[in-house]
Amino acid sequence: MRTRTKFVKKTMIFLAAAVCALALVFSGCSSRDGVDGKNGRDFDIYQIYEAYVSETEAMGDTPLTFLEFINSYLDVEYTASELDEVLSVQAAINRSLLSCVSVTAAFSGTSATNATRTITSASAGSGVIVDIDRDAGDAYVVTNCHVVYNEDLAGKYATCVHVALYGQEDYMYAERTTNRTADETTIDIEGGIEAKIVAAAPSYDLALLKVTGSEDIKNSNATAAKFVDDDVTDMGQRVYAIGNPGGYGMSVTEGIVSKDSEYIGINFDSNENLVLYYRVLRTDTALNSGNSGGGLFNSEGKLVGIVNSKSSDDYEGVSYAIPAGTARRVVESMMDSEGSSMQVGISKPVYGVELDADPLPSYVDENGNTQKREAVYVVNYDRNGLGKDFETNDVIKHITITSSDGVVKEDLDIERLYMVSDALISVRVGDEVTFTVSRDNEEVPISHTMTRSEIYSGSRWEEYAKKMEYDLLFCF
């Protein structure tokens, strides 16, 4: 059953005047702690413990052990092994902060429905660095498509995007300016690093931004995050989210994976004219407006997903992320096909085959985790298309994708429905794709080498699937 939900929506911001006013009311002055002094210095738990030990010994007393100190002063009860785990996660979080950015997008232009009306707005979201060349000051950042998308604008996508590294995000804001003489309103982003939208895919709610030649990147410790290797997310694994809730700067929340895979429907526009369906993982990690596009990491600091939505019903602890396996392949497709202008959608072959799946008994894997399993089979296929060699009721057992130079890009036993469509995102011109299907109790290989005309770039594969009246989530 598909759940209707809503985005962890890009939070709308018109901050300049409000921030100035609040600064006057609450602080009474324009200076900020930590900007030109040591009162904003960060201390870690080890430095605090060392200071405690020094002071205690100076008084002639015996200091507590580190474990006793943590349990006493933080009012918790950790065992030694639990403390090791906590500190390991703390280290992973601090590493992940170097891969995370705040995103501010400005929209300015003609209304999509009224050519005489102009629109100026801004939104805040989050992003994750997925590739970086610090020497050159270049970086690619993944975020949600809806962070840089405005359905009310004729051009739909942001006219200006800036990103800010951790520690710099407090100084990035959007400012709206009205010239009453010229009857013009503009919106500008102050601070941060200018980024270009390379590609955007509404059907995956992902967008790729590119930063070029940034001195801030050159002089930073920024690093690229790594995606998890597996296509299956383990239930109950500990995860944390880093994002920009409310547009007030990056923060961290923690939880677990509540459900490894499900399908949700989201209103992509405010008028509910466009409902898109996504495969997501569910987490109880606290997420709010502005977390959109941020990373969901495991305890090793690897990306488990890209945060994009939360339940619109009165449910607590029900939030969603685009799974890492999907996000990684979409990002790679976007990077491989980067051109001079922004690309909408991704490149993908369409066989014209509709799938379904029957549940099988779960099993326990080699790590002791309980995993779901499905029998994935063909329901319908285009007899004149690329999928003409399939037959109804073929059970798909395995997919191998090999590049023209012999590199195996995908080698998957198909145990879940989503694995088929996800794997095909990796296909490029010249790749050999081999399906192994079970047909009449025999294993039958179906192989094909992709030509340029068979790779549907941008949104053409979506148009094809719609023409065939196939569900985009359950066809390839």
- In angstroms and rounded to an integer, the radius of gyration of the C-alpha atoms of the chain is 25
Q: What is the pTM (predicted TM-score) of this model?
A: 0.80
- Find all residues with CB under 8 Å of 380, minimum gap 6, and list them: 353, 354, 392, 470
Instruction: Copy the structure tokens of residue 134.
Output: 């610090």
Q: Are 349 and 469 in contact (CB under 8 A)?
A: no
What is the per-residue pLDDT for 114?
80
To the nearest 10 degrees (0 to 180), the angle between helices 45-58 and 66-73 is 100
Residue with tokens 């130079």: 405
Cα(240)–Cα(255) distance, integer angstroms: 6
115, with CB counted inside 10 A (0-12, 13-18, 19+), is: exposed
What is the per-residue pLDDT for 402?
97
Torsion, Cα 9 284 42 28, to 10 degrees, reads 50
What is the per-residue pLDDT for 38?
35
What is the per-residue pLDDT for 320?
93
Cα(359)–Cα(398) distance, integer angstroms: 17
What is the per-residue pLDDT for 6?
56
Which of 188, 168, 179 minimizes the C-alpha distance to 13? 188
Tens digit of each residue's pLDDT, the chain (476 residues): 334 455 565 555 444 333 333 332 322 333 333 333 333 334 556 667 778 888 888 888 888 876 677 777 666 677 767 766 666 788 889 999 999 999 999 888 888 788 778 878 888 999 999 999 999 999 999 999 999 998 888 788 888 999 999 998 888 878 777 666 655 677 888 889 999 999 999 889 999 999 999 999 999 999 999 999 888 888 889 999 999 998 888 999 999 999 999 988 887 766 666 778 889 999 999 998 889 999 999 988 999 999 998 877 667 888 999 999 999 999 999 999 888 788 888 888 888 899 999 999 999 888 788 889 999 999 998 888 889 999 999 999 999 999 999 999 999 999 999 999 999 999 999 999 999 999 999 999 999 999 988 887 766 766 766 666 667 777 78
Which of 209, 234, 203 minimizes the C-alpha distance to 365? 234
Other beta carbons within 10 Å of 301: 21
Instruction: Copy the structure tokens of residue 56.
Output: 């205690």
Torsion, Cα 375 297 192 194, to 10 degrees, reads -30
Residue with tokens 């060392």: 50
* 3-class state of residue 98 by DSSP: helix
- Find all residues with CB under 8 Å of 85, minimum gap 6, and list them: 299
What is the per-residue pLDDT for 18?
34
Phi, psi of 465 (to 5 degrees): -65, -40
* 3-class state of residue 46 by DSSP: helix
Residue with tokens 């025999």: 442
H helix or E strand, kind and range, residue 330: helix 324-336
H helix or E strand, kind and range, residue 424: helix 418-424
* Helix segments in 152-248, DSSP class H: 215-218
Q: How far is CA 179 from CA 21, 183, 184, in A?
A: 21, 6, 5
What is the per-residue pLDDT for 120?
82
Instruction: Copy the structure tokens of residue 17.
Output: 């005047």
Phi, psi of 208 (to 5 degrees): -115, 125
Cα(112)–Cα(153) distance, integer angstroms: 5
